[in-house]
A and B are shown apart, each in its own frame.
Chain A
Amino acid sequence: MLTDRRTAHAIVVLLDEDADAEALARMLGDLSADEAHTVVCLPPVRGMAFFADATVQRQLDAWWAARIPTAAIPVFVVDHHPDLAQWLGGLDASCYVGVRSEADASAYQGTEAHVVVIRSPLDYAAALMNDLVESGVYGQTEAHRMRSLAASIPDRGGPGLDMVPRVGQVGAGIGPDPFDLLIAMSAPDRNIASPSRRTVTPDGGDAPASVRRGLRLPAWTRRVASLAKRDDVADRELATALVTRGSTIVAVGSRKGGVGKTSHAAGVAIVAGAALDSVGRCAAIVDANIANPDAWGQLNLPPEAATVRDVIAALAVNREPPRPVHASTPALACFPESREASEYSRTEIGMIVAHLRARYPLIVVDMSNRLPDPTAGPEAAAAAFWLEHADVLVLPSAASKQDFNGVLDYLEVRDIPPAIVASLVPRTRRNREHPLAKRYMAAIAQRAYRVVDIPDEAERVRYAGMEGVPVETVSGALKAAYRELAEAIAAAPDSKRR
C-alpha cells in the first residue's frame, strides 16, 4: 500500500502478448528502487480493448479501484495500434507507446505520449526506467544497465517481439536449439572479462592465477527432468517400487545371440531410468558382453566414454573411477566395454558391483551369449561372475526351437536368481499359436518367475538404430512392454539377494 507523501506511480502494462507483458511487469517490479511508492500491474484486459471495449469497462473499473492507489500517477505501457492515438488525448496519465516505424510514430504527434521505438520489451523498460530515475522509482545504475542491454539486442527488422532471430535450425520441422539462441544472445563481440581484473593464487597475493573447481550438477538436472511432461504417476510408482526394493542388479542373458538381448537390456534400462528420474535417481546399464562390445550402437555413446575396463582399472588401484557417460535419455549412466577387454576375475566383477550398487537403484547388465560357467572361457566366466551378484535374471526369447531350448538350458543353471522371460511375440498368428511353441512356453512358464510378452517390432528397432534414438521412442507398444518388464523386475522376490 502506498502510504506517505512521496509521489506514487502505478505502472500499468498493456502489451498485447501475454509473455511480453508478464516479463515486462515482472522486470519493472523487480527492479523498482522504491517499492513503497510503485505498483506494477497487469490488468485483466490489455491492448486497445483496455481503452476501447465498452463491454469490459465495468470489470476494469472494479479492477482499477482495487489495484491502483488513489494518489498514484498512472503510467501506461502499450503497443501501437492505429486507433490508439485518439484515446490518449485527455488521459490523466503518462503513456509509453511502442512503435516499429516512423510512420507509426507520426500518429502520436500532438499527443503527450512517450513514443518508444521498440525491438524488444527491454526498450519499454529502458525508456520508462530512464524517465523515472529522477522520481526515485528506479536507480541510476539499473536504468543505465537496462539501456545498455536494450541497445545490445540486435534489430531483426521485422515484426514481432522476439528478441533474436531463429538460429540453429536442425532440419525441417525442428525449431531452434535453446543454446543456439543463448549463443546468439551472447553477441560475438561481447567480452565480459575485464582486462584489468586481478586474479588470486590459492595461497594468497594478487599474482595472476585462477582457481579451478569441479562442480557437481546432477541434483538440479534430475529435479528439472522430473518436471518435464510425461507419464508422471506411472513413472513415480515404478521408481518408488525400484527404490524401495534396494539396489537391484538385472542380468540380461542368453545362450545364443540374435534374440534381442541388447535391445531388451537397453529398453528396460531406459524406461526404468526415465522413471527413476522422477524421484531424482538414476539407472545404470553395463556392457558385460566382452565378446561383442560394439552392440551398443543404438545408445549413441560417444567414443571417449569410460568403459567397464576403465572403471575396474581405477577401482583396482583405489582411484576414483571415471564418471560414466549418459545416453541421450536422461538418468541412465552407461558403462560400455572396450574392444581390448579380454577377461575379468571374480574379484574384479565384485569390485565394480560394489561400486555400482552404492550409486544406482537399478543396474542392467547386458551379458554375453554364453551359459554361465566360471571354467568355460572368459565370456562364460564373466557371465557366471555377474550372475553371482544378480538379483533378477532376464532371458529374452524369440519364437524358435533353438531359442526356447536356449531359455530352458539357462533356467537349468544352478543358483540363478528369479528369472523373467522376455518373450518376443511372433507377428503371425500361425507362429503365435503353434502347438509346439505353446508347449515350450508352458514349460518355460513353469520354471520362470514370470513371462513378459514383447511385441516383435524388429523394423522399428532397426529404424531406431538408424536414427540413433532409443528404441522405446519409436514404438509405444515396445515402451509399454519394457515398462511391464521393469515393473516385473521391481516386483520380483529378493530371495536371491546377497
Chain B
Amino acid sequence: MTPALSALLRGALRLDRGADHAQREQCLEAIRDCVERFAYALSMMIAGHDAPAGAIDPLLLARMQGALRPFLARGDVMRPDFGAFGDLRVEGALLDAGEPVLAVLEFDDRCVREAADGSLVPARLRRLRLTMRVELDPVTVIDCVVAEVLPRSA
C-alpha cells in the first residue's frame, strides 16, 4: 500500500468514526430528552395530574397509573421535588435503532406529600433509581423498574 493510499484510508476511517460519533451524540441527546420527559410525566402522575403523552409507552403508562391509584385514591398528592440534578447512565448500542437501550436515572426523592386535609409531610429523603428500557425509534420508555438506592455501607 502506498503511503498516499494509506493516508487516504486513515482519513476515510476518521470520517466514518466522526459520523458515528455525531450520530451517537444525537442519540444520547434524544434519550436524555426522553428521560427528562418521562421524569416529568412521573412527577405529573404523583402530583395527581394526567401524564403528558409522548415519552412513555401507553402500556407502561397504564401500569404506572394503576400502581399509583391506591395513593391518589386517598386524595393525597405529592409536591414533586427530585432535586436539582439527576444522574443518568445510558447503556446500549446507540447506532442500532432496532434494539432498545438501557437508561438508568438516579435522583433524590425530596417530594412533599400534600394530604387531602392540606397538611404537608416531607418524604423520607432517599435516593431512587429508575431503570428504563428506551426504544430508539421513536425514542420512548417502554419499561421501567423503580428501586431505592441503599447507602453503600448498608
Contacts and interface: CB of A to CB of B under 8 A. Distances in A.
B141 to A, nearest CB: 11
A220 B36 contact: yes
Q: How big is the B interface, by class?
A: 35 or more
A200 B68 contact: no
Contacts of A89: none
A328 B94 contact: no
Contacts of A436: none
A469 B62 CA distance: 34
Contacts of A120: 66
B28 A213 contact: yes
B70 interface: yes
Contacts of A210: 89-91
B77 A228 contact: yes
Contacts of A194: 100, 102
B70 A175 contact: yes
A105 to B, nearest CB: 23
A186 B86 contact: no
B59 to A, nearest CB: 6
Contact of A19 (B49, B69, B95, B110): B69
Given A175-B74, A176-B70, A192-B133, A217 B82 contact: yes
A321 interface: no
Q: Which secondary structure dominates where chain B touches chain A?
A: mixed
B76 A175 contact: yes
A191 B112 CA distance: 30
A57 interface: no
B79 to A, nearest CB: 5
A27 B61 CA distance: 9
Contact of A149 (B46, B63, B87, B94): B63
B139 to A, nearest CB: 15
Nearest to B42: A182
B77 A163 contact: no
A200 B85 contact: no
Interface string A71-92: 0000000000000000000000
A164 interface: yes
A163 B115 CA distance: 22
B147 interface: yes
Interface in A214-244: 214-218, 220-221, 223-225, 227-229
Given A204-B17, A473-B119, A216 B70 contact: no
A215 B89 CA distance: 9
A303 B50 CA distance: 36
Given A176-B71, A178-B46, A220-B40, A200 B92 contact: yes
Interface in B100-154: 100-102, 105, 107, 109-110, 112-115, 118-125, 128, 131-133, 143-148
Nearest to B75: A175
B87 A212 contact: yes
Nearest to B122: A328
A192 B46 CA distance: 23
A269 to B, nearest CB: 15
B81 A326 contact: yes
Nearest to A166: B70
A215 B125 CA distance: 19
A192 B122 contact: no
A326 B91 contact: no
A30 B61 CA distance: 11
B30 interface: no
Contact of B145 (A163, A174, A192): A192
Contacts of A164: 66-67, 70
Contact of A27 (B59, B85, B105, B131): B59
Nearest to A229: B114
A215 B47 contact: no
B85 A214 contact: yes
A440 to B, nearest CB: 37
Nearest to A332: B81
Contacts of A179: 46, 109, 128, 146, 148
A341 to B, nearest CB: 23
Interface string A110-133: 000000000011100100000000
A19 B99 CA distance: 34
Contact of B47 (A193, A218, A227, A323): A227
Nearest to B52: A220
A292 interface: no
A326 B110 contact: yes
Interface in B13-65: 17, 20-21, 24, 28, 32, 35-36, 39-40, 43-47, 49, 53, 58-59, 62-65
B49 A227 contact: yes
Contacts of A121: 62, 66
B5 interface: no
A215 B86 contact: yes
Contacts of B89: 210-213
Nearest to A164: B67
Given A211-B89, A212-B87, A221-B81, A178 B68 contact: yes
Interface in A7-54: 19, 23, 26-27, 30-31
A200 to B, nearest CB: 5
A163 B73 CA distance: 13
A121 B39 CA distance: 24
Contacts of B92: 197-200
Nearest to B41: A220
A213 B90 contact: yes
Nearest to B142: A145
A398 interface: no
6 contacts: A26-B58, A120-B66, A179-B148, A197-B91, A204-B20, A224-B49
Nearest 5 Cβ contacts at the A-B interface: A328-B122, A220-B40, A163-B66, A185-B67, A186-B145
